[in-house]
């Protein structure tokens, strides 16, 4: 009787908006605490390393000339921020990565989809693209400078090349790995090609497509360094080169940390933007 009464009480609670909100509130608070704990856990390792190194330098066990303590790096970042120089370099790098990512991802999605959907197109394109993928990024630099000049077009093109290949491979591989039984179920229900693609193929491909986009974005930030070595006067890559030429390890590490923070921020925004596309997934991670 007690169990039936509690069951009826819970049912009555969920039947009204106020009761549903009251029952959902503890779960929401628990979920927020779990998110906060994950954030703190992610910050633990870099903060611990920074504090340990700061302590080692402050007590004189190391001079901190080649690897400056975090306090000196923060002071360098603050000084660059106050003069506005840091934001100029950050904006230049972000613009190049965004433009290169848009071009490379669009080309990778289109060619990856064509290659995955058509055996003929795959046999035509894939061998050439796989051979081009093996070319080191730095090998493209003189060619792009010769074709496009030393200004923005060559830098964006180099970043687009870096983004293109992981996106292409991820999209093509995702389409080729779709479970054949799902397609057969769609054909049993006499779905048209458009409905088959929208209801079965697209949901099956989206999770791996998101991973491919994240990989491409990460390589975009890697390629922007090589791109900004190509005669750039702005950008975090230029800040790295300037710090190396002027013998400023604190500036080099400040630029590296800025790269890390920007890359993490961009990846988080991409995950946030694509989360609605894969919200239907019932994975272990979503249930934890």
- pLDDT score recorded for residue 8: 53
* pLDDT number for residue 278: 73
**pLDDT in tens for each of the 288 residues of the chain?**
455 544 454 455 445 555 544 544 555 666 666 656 776 787 888 888 888 988 888 888 888 788 888 889 899 999 989 988 899 999 999 999 999 999 999 999 999 989 988 889 999 999 999 999 988 877 888 888 888 888 888 899 999 999 999 999 999 998 888 877 777 777 777 777 777 777 777 778 888 899 999 999 999 999 998 888 777 788 898 898 888 888 888 999 999 999 999 999 999 999 888 887 777 665 545 544
pTM of the model: 0.80
Residue ranges of domains in the chain, CATH in brackets: 2-58 (no CATH), 70-287 (1.10.3720.10)
pLDDT value for 202: 79
pLDDT of residue 61: 86
Spell out the SS3 assignment of the chain: CHHHHHHHHHHHHHHCHHHHHHHHHHHHHHHHHHHHHHHHHHHHHHHHHHHHHHHHHHCCCCCCCCCCCHHHHHHHHHHHHHHCHHHHHHHHHHHHHHHHHHHHHHHHHHHHHHHHHCHHHHHHHHHHHHHHHCCCHHHHHHHHHHHHCCCHHHHHHHHHHHHHHHHHHHHHHHHHCCCHHHHHHHHHCCCCHHHHHHHHHHHHHHHHHHHHHHHHHHHHHHHHHHHHCCCCCCCHHHHHHHHHHCCCHHHHHHHHHHHHHHHHHHHHHHHHHHHHHHCCCCCHHHHC
């Amino acid at each position: 009787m007690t169990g039936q009464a509690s069951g009826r009480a819970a049912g009555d609670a969920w039947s009204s908006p106020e009761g549903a909100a009251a029952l959902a509130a503890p779960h929401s608070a628990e979920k927020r605490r779990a998110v906060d704990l994950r954030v703190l856990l992610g910050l633990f390792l870099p903060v611990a390393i920074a504090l340990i190194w700061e302590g080692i330098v402050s007590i004189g066990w190391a001079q901190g000339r080649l690897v400056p303590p975090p306090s000196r790096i923060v002071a360098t970042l603050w000084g660059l921020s106050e003069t506005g120089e840091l934001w100029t370099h950050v904006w230049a790098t972000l613009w190049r990565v965004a433009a290169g990512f848009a071009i490379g991802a669009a080309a990778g999605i289109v060619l990856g989809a064509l290659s995955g959907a058509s055996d003929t197109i795959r046999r035509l394109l894939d061998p050439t693209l796989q051979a081009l993928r093996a070319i080191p990024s730095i090998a493209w630099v003189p060619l792009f400078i010769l074709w496009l000049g030393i200004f923005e077009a060559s830098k964006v093109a180099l970043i687009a090349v870096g983004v293109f290949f992981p996106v292409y491979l991820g999209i093509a591989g995702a389409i080729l790995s779709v479970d054949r039984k799902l397609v057969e179920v769609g054909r049993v229900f006499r779905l048209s090609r458009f409905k088959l693609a929208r209801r079965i193929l697209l949901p099956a491909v989206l999770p791996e497509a998101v991973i491919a986009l994240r990989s491409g974005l990460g390589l975009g930030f890697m390629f922007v360094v090589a791109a900004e070595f190509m005669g750039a006067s702005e950008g975090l890559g230029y800040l790295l080169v300037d710090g190396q030429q002027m013998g400023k390890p604190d500036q080099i590490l400040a630029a590296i940390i800025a790269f890390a923070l920007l890359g993490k921020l961009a990846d988080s925004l991409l995950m946030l933007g694509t989360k609605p596309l894969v919200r239907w997934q019932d994975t272990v991670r979503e249930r934890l």
